[in-house]
Structure 1
Amino acid sequence: MGTKESPSLLTELIYFSIKDVGRAIDMKKLESPALYARLSGKKLGSPLPIRKDTPTSLALPQPVWFAFEEVEAEGLGKVYPSAKVYNDGAVTILLRGKGYFKLDELGPLSHSPLIKSQNYSYTFEDFANRLFGRLLDAIGDAIIDGIERSNLQEEHYLAYCFLEYPEPPGAFVQNYRHIFASLLIGEPDSTLLHETQIQAALARPFSYRSDDLAIFDMDHCIIFDAQHDYEDILLIIEHANYRLLELRALDRLLDLRLDEAERDLTVYGIEKNKKRKGKTRLRGKTPQRKFARIQALRFEALFILENLENSSKIIGDYFLGQIYSRLCEIFNTEGWSRSVERRLDVLSSVYDMVKTDSAERRTLVLEIVFIIVCIVLPLIQIWQALILK
């Protein structure tokens, strides 16, 4: 099935790259003027743009926001990079640029080396990683319990924001539904998509005014707004990705802890249906210390899960809340939350069992000592006295 030849439209491309760099970031250390000079950037304010029906009490994490120097990009003219640093260890790199593109030209852009910097060409992802490395070198001293760069978790998201369109956005999307569905899914060839996939991709549009529209998917979204009034939507997109990243990073950490617990138990033979050999120690650290570490991790996880839940409550049933709920549905944050809670319960049960077993052994030892001191030794003394007589 063919598609109509697409018109050339003024489009803003907005690329998010979000990484989890550590347990927390000391925001006071980011206030140094030398830091901004080192980044060749400046600090930006972080106002919260809101839709007309959103309460002014809406509260989302407030980052420190850096602006990098602008760069050239093929078809986009200038690209404006920036970085947001959050106190609980997340960093967002933003790349934004406008240009005139035909709809069928937009799909390959995210993987094309458009950005020109220092005689090199970069894709969005490569250039975001370069800026991230630069930022991490500058703020490394402020990161608490940092993660090795090779182990960093990340999320990427690309928004296609249309500032011009020849007809109402709903009708325009239907007229080029194959192309818009392929943009959302990330399929290079729009002619290959089955009708069921197109219907699923375009099934949940959101509009606040009669002349705007937004549709979301796992890694991409399309936004129509001739008034350029979508900063609040971008903020919710970032926030949803940011929460998903936290859950994924926590889930991965718990996986590592479960593997460690399995090794601990296997090495010392604490398994069901095995003969007791009296070896109930954990490797390296005492059960109490490992249990304390798991408890600390549990508290941190509970705070993250509570923040996730509170975000949904704060945003509520307003327009932004509906978008946030849709993104959470797409990202399956509820499933990630259940996975984290299940792993926390298993870990707590394992180490609680070992801790209890260790405590029982200590009690047994104390009982034996008590018997020796209070019963056996007196009997020996009486026996010795009788012999001496």
Structure 2
Amino acid sequence: MDIKTTPVFALIDCNSFYASCERVFRPDLRKTPIVVLSNNDGCVIARSYDAKPFVKMGEPYFQIKHKLKQHGIVAFSSNYALYGDMSLRVMSVIESLVPAVEVYSIDEAFADLAGVPGDIEALGRQIRAQVYRSTGIPVGVGIAGTKTLSKLANHSAKKWQAQTGGVVDLRDQTKRDWVLKKCSVSDVWGVGRKMTLHLEGMGIKSAWDLSQADAWMLRKKFSVVIEKTARELAGTPCLELDEPDPPKQEICCSRMFGKRLSHIAPIKEAVATYMQRATEKLRAQKSLCKKVRVSIRTGMFNPEEAKYANGVLVELPYPTDDVRLMTKAAVDAVDRIFRPGFKYSKAEVLLVNLCQKGEYTDDLFSGSQPEATEKVMSVLNAINGRWGRGTLRVASVPSDPDWGMRREMMSQSFTTRADQLWTVYCK
């Protein structure tokens, strides 16, 4: 096979991404264990490497406060604005160094290195160094002939970082076989806990065992997905870089309140706030919405609280992305489903029946979105894109609501708010 067409993939994965983002602006915590908590400071969703021996993923924060203090572990509330912006910076650096990129998640991306001349492993080390130099985020790089092997190579780069320097190239047969034999089948991308139990029951305990298994048998017994996984581990490419995702058919924005709400006014504020975010996503994918579902509910797990949940579907006058029209429709809908005497814990806004602009047939007797509205929404997008989300918003969306998400230990928005920029003091 011509070397230019030989598949070569690299997986670039940020190390303990949320914790690393916090450390970029807190160099005093470079050697301090860190955990990051979920919405409303509920449970652990991220851990630095040195915190993993003491804290499990998903542990409720209120249950482990004493343990964190005992081991000197610092907890942070989730700062999604910071993490999202740092992710964009990392991905921008990667995209500047490779021909094609598939952003797989907020902290990892596949790169297509097929046909790239020179030392590919050296390129991996260049990517690692450049990302760290430009963003302060450490990454691991796994290189291989298939996406599944590159994922395993990345796992190996982190597991044996002292020996690998954070970069592992598994295109060499000898190296690949050594890693496959050292890694458990549970370390393989896409093999979950239940599948691990099934495979181990068949005597497939290592990644090597899976690579040597009968792929057709795996397909018949399980699925085409596990068949492709086995073939990729054996060196046969079955997965390519994904094309950009098609526009979503539904858009949801849902949050738990920072405290229980008993009155309708703050619930309307919350619904307006969620609609603001949902319409941002709608306009980002250049779609229009025909219907909106608004729902509210109480807490469902406290036996001492009365329970209630209800929702309503609202038909919009025409397909639209106008946050003003959609917010009014959603807020008015709250009047139809709110019942006094309950303590509400959550609201949800769901945009349904979406369509792309120009891809629907106008009703002869119904209205359509005015041209002036599109101009207003374009200005809204431009202002918020330049000065930050929520700079320009409908009047019913408060700037700092008391029902908002509890984030008592949140770091500053160092990169997205002018009033929270990193301050350096010189003695």
What is the TM-score of this pair, normalised by structure 1? 0.25
Question: Quick check: which has more Rg, 1 or 2?
Answer: 1
Higher helix fraction: Structure 1 or Structure 2?
Answer: 1
